[in-house]
Amino acid sequence: MFLLIIPSAFAIKVNPSSLYEKTQPNIYFKRYFNVTNDGNSTLTLYISKQGIVADWCTLEPSVLTLDPNQTKSFYCLFIIPNTQGIFQGALLLDSTTIPITIEVSNITQVEEETGVFDFLTTSYGVSIQQGYKFVKSFYLRNDMNVRVEVKDFNFIGTGYIVTPEGGKPVRIEAWELGYLEPGEEKVIDVTIDGNLPVGTYKVVLEVIGLTPSKKKVVADLSFTINIVEEASPIPTLKLTCPEEVYEGDAFSIYLENIKPDTKIFYSMPFAGKETRTSTRWQFDCPGTSSGTYNITLLILQEDSLITKECVINVKKKPTPKILIVEYRIENDTLYLTAKDQYSGEVLEDAVIKVDGATYEEPIKVTPGKTYLITASCSGYEPFSREIRVPLKMMTCTYEPKEPKTTDKIIITCSVEDAKIYVDNQLYTEPIKLKAGTHRILAQREGYRDVELTFNVKGVSLFPKLNLSDLWYIVIPALLIIGLIYFKWFRKPKERVEVKYYPKLTGPLEKVRGKREEEEE
């Protein structure tokens, strides 16, 4: 971030425009500041200090003289005392203020500095026609676990020419020193200048950074610039991207007509897998969230650098409409109607199929059989369902209701052509059955099976009697037996008859009676 001050006739830029530092007690460190004169006259700037941090900072130099468009640096050497806390102050360049915050604390464990500080594209080659130039952006990324202070840059290599306009064939168009936090990227615009003699120029751009532990890290970007009298024709490359997809849906990006040695550089904003053949490059994305994605491919083919771009609009999925198929069965005939589940609107354009065959009018179906119903309609989720035609009901009866072994049993069913089985034997005419339990089974396609069990009674000379009937026989029989017993089998007993004569005065006369037989 640049701090731009325009006091009447001059303007300066200071980078960094503020400073926040986290450190420990009893240490010292330097911090550099770059000042650029963007005005059209020479400036003399006096640097001063303000606040508590002023006592900790030594400036070198304290005065800067800048010609128009000139950049100079100064540094501040901070010596941190044995204290803890957050301290603030500022540096003043005439009317320009650079806020400074220093946080001092005891750090018990120093974090190990790991990761990579480098360009996303580490090499770049191109053929350019003599006299032409263009600007290309490159990304410097800090993939370390600590922040890196970008301190300086320089070009090295063969063919690098310095002119009053800057370096050729490559020069930095826009540059900014400062800090890169972990995961942060910095854009560097580089001008590729072909206003040089025909030939090949190889240049390396070095960006130098410092970690909090003062470890030096360097990012390299190699350039191979071929300046030719007439540029080679650009290969015909075809980039195909879907313009619109729905979130979560898979899609692919194709680059066709490439050559086996073609190099393709890209940074996709979503995950995916890259595959290629000798003539085709492909990137498959399994799906991503909604949004607009700008895709840029850098293609190095036959010493020519080609840029291909496309835009993919990933839309949110609309709420799906649901299609249903209503059915009814009458007289073994199937009737189907496609409708919107929520509104109930009949969908005339829906295509309905029954077991894969297109349904156009009611069809005959077989009871007990299962059919697969499918339907489709533009803008609706496909419909699929199995239905089973219910079986019909039939009844069976037999006569007499309480059959005996002497009876011929007649069996009838409500469906005339149903097959009837008695004890697993086909029934064709009235039959007699033995005493016991028997089973009737009636079957007919399209109808539920009917199963009955019944009992056939046997006929005997001594019919079975129940308990109430038995008393009517037992009691009279007992009376008859008792009479016979008393009449023929019981002997009469001798009787002693005592007669009393109350008018007699003598002893009672005992009279032994005669034995008599009693007849009834």
pTM, 2 dp: 0.31
Rounded to an integer, what distance in angstroms lies between the CA atom of residue 218 and that of residue 282? 33
> Amino acid identity, residue 53?
V
Across the range 131-154, mean pLDDT stands at 84
351-354 and 370-376: which strand pairing? antiparallel
Could you tell me the pLDDT band of residue 304, with boundaries at 50, 70 and 90?
low
Contact at 8 Å (CB) between 146 and 168?
no
- pLDDT at res. 38: 82
Closest CA to 396 of 456, 330, 454, 458: 454
Beta strands in 277-359 (DSSP E): 280-285, 291-301, 304-315, 321-330, 333-340, 351-354, 357-358
pLDDT tens figures, 334-361 = 999 999 888 889 998 899 999 999 998 9
- pLDDT at res. 376: 92
Rounded to an integer, what distance in angstroms lies between the CA atom of residue 78 and that of residue 76? 6
Measuring CA to CA, how many Å separate 190 from each of 13, 124, 268?
21, 11, 22
- Is 357 or 9 the better-scoring residue by pLDDT? 357
Beta strands in 232-290 (DSSP E): 238-240, 244-246, 251-256, 263-266, 273-276, 280-285
Beta strands in 405-449 (DSSP E): 410-413, 419-422, 425-426, 436-443
Contact at 8 Å (CB) between 449 and 418?
no
- pLDDT at res. 469: 58
Task: Write the CB contacts of 289 (distance below 8 Å, at least 6 apart in sequence).
Answer: 247, 314
- Is 355 or 237 the better-scoring residue by pLDDT? 355
Task: Write the CB contacts of 474 (distance below 8 Å, at least 6 apart in sequence).
Answer: none
Neighbours of 71 (CB within 10 A): 15
Measuring CA to CA, how many Å separate 444 from each of 8, 147, 250, 449, 450?
108, 86, 54, 7, 9
State both tokens at 439. Answer: 């089973």
For residue 400, cis peptide bond before it (omega within 30 degrees of 0): yes
| Residue 232 per-residue DSSP state | P
pLDDT tens figures, 39-80 = 888 888 888 888 877 778 888 888 888 888 787 888 888 888
Could you tell me the pLDDT band of residue 397, with boundaries at 50, 70 and 90?
very high
- On the question of pLDDT at 466 being above 70, the answer is no
Element of type H or E holding 14: strand 12-15
Rounded to an integer, what distance in angstroms lies between the CA atom of residue 304 and that of residue 203? 17
| Residue 447 per-residue DSSP state | B
For the chain, what is the mean pLDDT?
81
Q: How buried is residue 230: exposed, middle or buried, by Cβ count under 10 Å (0-12/13-18/19+)?
A: exposed
Rounded to an integer, what distance in angstroms lies between the CA atom of residue 245 and that of residue 256? 21
